[in-house]
Amino acid sequence: MNSNDSDRYYFRFSLGQRYLHGLVIVTFLGLAATGMTLRFSERGWARWLAETTGGFTAVLSLHKFCAVLLSAGFLYHIGDILFRAIIKKDRGLFFGPNSMTPQPKDAEDLFKMLRWFLWMGPQPEFDHFAYWEKFDYWAVFWGMAIIGATGYMMWFGPFFARFVPGYVLNIALLIHGEEALLAVWFIFIVHFFNSHLRPEKFPLDPVIFTGRVSSKEYQHERPLDYSRLSESGTLEMLRSDPPPRWLKNFSRLIAVIAVGIGFFLLALTWIAFWSG
């Protein structure tokens, strides 16, 4: 029935990475729903949401709750990077094919990709992370740092005002809100499309949920990574069982819910933003 069932599978994401992505999904949706309620507070739906949630205090508490969870995830990730860099001395972390650091090849790939869009050349061959995946990563990284920092500044306003002038809190709210809008629209449009909804992947790419990728897919999508892993023999260390049926179904469920909520929030905020 499924040609991939007889195929070989490899782990592309560790359990930790998948949990982290799950944590980001849940807290990001929570933060977006409660935050956009405040940002577009003059809208009827915002009032309705706030009242349904149990009032403004409940909305803000949920926002802070999700913020603390996501912050914990963020700090865990920073800790993990430091651990890999300092203790494990993983030099490939900051530069090389497995690094998230933007490199000349990414600019090259982008240029080739644009040419491919316009029927002017073949699709580039990607390595472990494609340039849009790196952008996704850094967008979220920068977003969490900026939105998080400004958020905590406002949460503990009088405390931070001991070190910076009070009007910095004005700037904090402005940046917090604008950056959040950027994040929300980026995730619900660009990330959803690039990673899940584009015709090649529609309706979703389950690899971030199952962690497993088939050898055919791996070979086709990341030929450089695949051949290097094959040659070094590392690939067989990543060999996995096919994704269990329950995990595939679970992935679909999560995707439908996340995309549903995401598009709903996208529509609400989009209309609210452009109708002034």
Partner 1 sequence: MAQGSRRMVSGLGRIACAIAALLLCAVAMGHAAAATKAAAATKAATTTKAAATTKAAATTNAAAATKAPNDKDCLSCHNLKANAKLQARPVSVYVNAETFQPSVHSTLGCVSCHSDIHAFPHPDPVKPVSCAGCHPNQTSAYAGSVHAIAKRGTKQRFPACLDCHGNPHGMRAKTDPKSRVYPLNLPRTCGTCHGNAEIAKKYGFPDVYALYMDSIHGFALTSDGLLVAATCASCHGAHDILSRKDPKSRTFPGNVPATCGTCHAGVQVAYLAGAHGKAMIAGRANAPVCTNCHTSHQITQVGVVNWQLKTVATCGNCHKARLQSYRDTFHGQVTELGFVATARCWSCHGSHEVLKASDPKSKVAPANLPATCGKCHQGVTASFVSYEPHPNPHDRRQNPALYYAALFMNLLLLGVFFFFGLHTALWLARSLTVGKRGKDNGVSGEQ
Residues in touch with partner 1 (CB under 8 A): 2-4, 37-39, 41-42, 46-47, 50-51, 55-57, 59, 113-114, 116-119, 132, 154, 157-159, 161-162, 164-171, 173-175, 178-179, 181-182, 185-186, 189-190, 193-194, 198-206, 216-217, 220-221
In angstroms, give the least distance from the CB of 127 to partner 1.
17
Residue with smaller CB distance to partner 1, 69 or 173? 173
Instruction: Return the closest-CA partner of residue 221 out of 99, 120, 132.
Output: 132
Residue 82 CA to residue 68 CA, distance in Å, equals: 21
List the Cα angle 176/181/187 in 5-degree steps: 120
Residues 6+ apart with CB under 8 A from 11: 211, 212, 213, 238, 239, 240
Residue with smaller CB distance to partner 1, 116 or 263? 116
The two tokens of residue 22 are 């799950």
Q: Where are the beta strands (DSSP E) in the chain?
A: 9-11, 212-214, 239-240
In angstroms, give the least distance from the CB of 176 to partner 1.
10
Residue 256 CA to residue 203 CA, distance in Å, equals: 9
Instruction: Return the closest-CA partner of residue 136 out of 114, 112, 106, 115.
Output: 106
Instruction: Return the closest-CA partner of residue 96 out of 106, 87, 88.
Output: 106
Whether the CB-CB separation of 35 and 67 falls below 8 Å is answered with: no
In angstroms, give the least distance from the CB of 180 to partner 1.
11
Residue with smaller CB distance to partner 1, 78 or 267? 267
In angstroms, give the least distance from the CB of 38 to partner 1.
5
Residue with smaller CB distance to partner 1, 158 or 233? 158
Residue with smaller CB distance to partner 1, 19 or 56? 56
In angstroms, give the least distance from the CB of 158 to partner 1.
4
As to burial, measured by CB atoms within 10 angstroms (0-12 exposed, 13-18 middle, 19+ buried), residue 16 is: exposed
What is the helix (H) or strand (E) element at residue 115, kind and residue range? helix 104-117
| Single-letter amino acid code for the residue at 262 | G
Residue with smaller CB distance to partner 1, 119 or 246? 119
Residue with smaller CB distance to partner 1, 42 or 241? 42
In angstroms, give the least distance from the CB of 146 to partner 1.
10
In angstroms, give the least distance from the CB of 25 to partner 1.
18
